[in-house]
Structure 1
Amino acid sequence: MTPVPAGTRLVLATHNLHKVRELGEILAPLVPGLEPGAVRGAADLGASEPVEDGVTFAENALIKARALAATTGLPAVADDSGLCVDVLGGAPGVFSARWAGRHGDDRANLELLLAQLADVPERHRGAHFACAAALVTPSGLEIVEEGTMPGTLLTAPRGAGGFGYDPILQPVGETRSAAELSPAEKNAISHRGKAFAALAPHVVAALG
């Protein structure tokens, strides 16, 4: 079993440091008593990454949460998320992080997608971020909640915040890209914020 630092109460099944910070910011006000240091990412624990071979966001989120709960003996939370583009039939979808062929190369993924959509007019550039958030406990409890953030794809990146495809999605009702929003603004309307807000009561119950 993977050693866990003292004081850890909840583990996040991601090696993406951006996600660890964002998920911590989302969960902290929703889960009473979840102090800094009580939440650890998989990278902090030296836990390996399981093969994400699911065909839906929910399947992949459960794969990750199950693996980390099994290796740490603690409640584990995971999310799987991505960008779904209308004219691409929902792609990149679960392949968002490796759209350009190499997992986690945000710049290459973004540039390839923009090139593929170069001739698509604004009225057909609808898209949404989707997220499935999963909680798995060592006792076998499994819960998944989902959220979306609809918007329109820009023709060029804007903003230095966020990560992934944030610089090219303009959320509905906004004049800014997701990467131009403050963390608090983004979390209030984001796919991940919605999914984890729905999951939070289950996390509270699991932590007792």
Structure 2
Amino acid sequence: MKLLLATRNAAKLVELRRIVADAGLGGVDVLGLADVPEFPEAPETGATFAENALAKARDAAAATGLVSVADDSGITVDALNGMPGVLSARWSGRHGDDDANLQLVLDQLSDTPDDRRGAAFVCAAALVAPGGDPSETIVHGTWRGTLLRAPRGENGFGYDPIFRPEGDERSSAELSPAEKDALSHRGQALRALVPHVLALVG
């Protein structure tokens, strides 16, 4: 069975492939969007992570005929009333500019005391089977922590360098890939999808 991970974010694709592989999905050939013919991708206009993930997975399944997984994820900052949220990747106005997005959040929190810098990474992941199979599954993962005042670490991407998970003194970008997968919002969501993928394989 071929499973399409519907993302063009290279760092996210590496992470998703690693999580799926660690889940022991034998007999599943994991593809990325670069492995299939290009197709029109609708802009992310959903008001929630789940809406965006489901739209991306539906588009990919319809265009390719493959069972497709898509995720939408971001960071919600308590002191910013839950923002950037679904706007995380384009918070600075430039989609995918990690450094600018991260710096804008730090600037917005510059006067926020340490005890009010709570945040959470949130992920919604959707699994859609193509054609006549109406199978659609949406799962969620949440990873709580606090925001540092300056970036630390070289691993990860996005807001990882300023996110310190609960119970740890390191930033997410200072964790090893295995540590991050075991804890992260995306790891939680992808693992929750595994039984549904296995049901399709079976």
**Structure 2 residue aligned with 1:131:** 123
The amino acid across from 1:120 in the alignment is: T
Matched residue of 2:112: which SS? coil
Instruction: Please list the CA deviations of residues 85-112 of structure 1 after superposition, one character each: whole Å capped at 9, or x if unmatched.
Output: 0011100000000000011000110011
Out of 25, 28, 33, the position equivalent to 2:26 is 33
Q: TM-score, normalised by structure 1?
A: 0.93
Out of 95, 102, 113, the position equivalent to 2:94 is 102
Name the CA distance, whole Å, in 2 between partners of 1:205 and 1:74. Answer: 15
Name the CA distance, whole Å, in 2 between partners of 1:136 and 1:155. Answer: 39
Matches within 5 A, 1:185-204: 185-204=179-198
Out of 138, 158, 165, the position equivalent to 2:152 is 158
Name the CA distance, whole Å, in 2 between partners of 1:146 and 1:183. Answer: 20
Q: Contact (CA 8 Å) 1:149, 1:191: kept in 2 or not?
A: yes
Q: TM-score, normalised by structure 2?
A: 0.95
**Structure 1 residue aligned with 2:76:** 84
Task: Count residues with an aligned counterpart.
Answer: 199
Name the CA distance, whole Å, in 2 between partners of 1:43 and 1:123. Answer: 43
Instruction: Please list the CA deviations of residues 119-156 of structure 1 after superposition, one character each: whole Å capped at 9, or x if unmatched.
Output: 10100000000000110001221100001110000000
The change in CA–CA distance for 1:123 and 1:131 in structure 2 (over 3 A counts) is same
Task: Report the RMSD for the aligned CA atoms in angstroms.
Answer: 1.2
Which structure 2 segments of 5+ residues have no match? none
**Structure 2 residue aligned with 1:63:** 55
Q: Give 4+ residue runs of structure 1 displaced > 4 Å after superposition.
A: none
Which structure 1 segments of 5+ residues have no match? 1-7
The change in CA–CA distance for 1:135 and 1:61 in structure 2 (over 3 A counts) is same
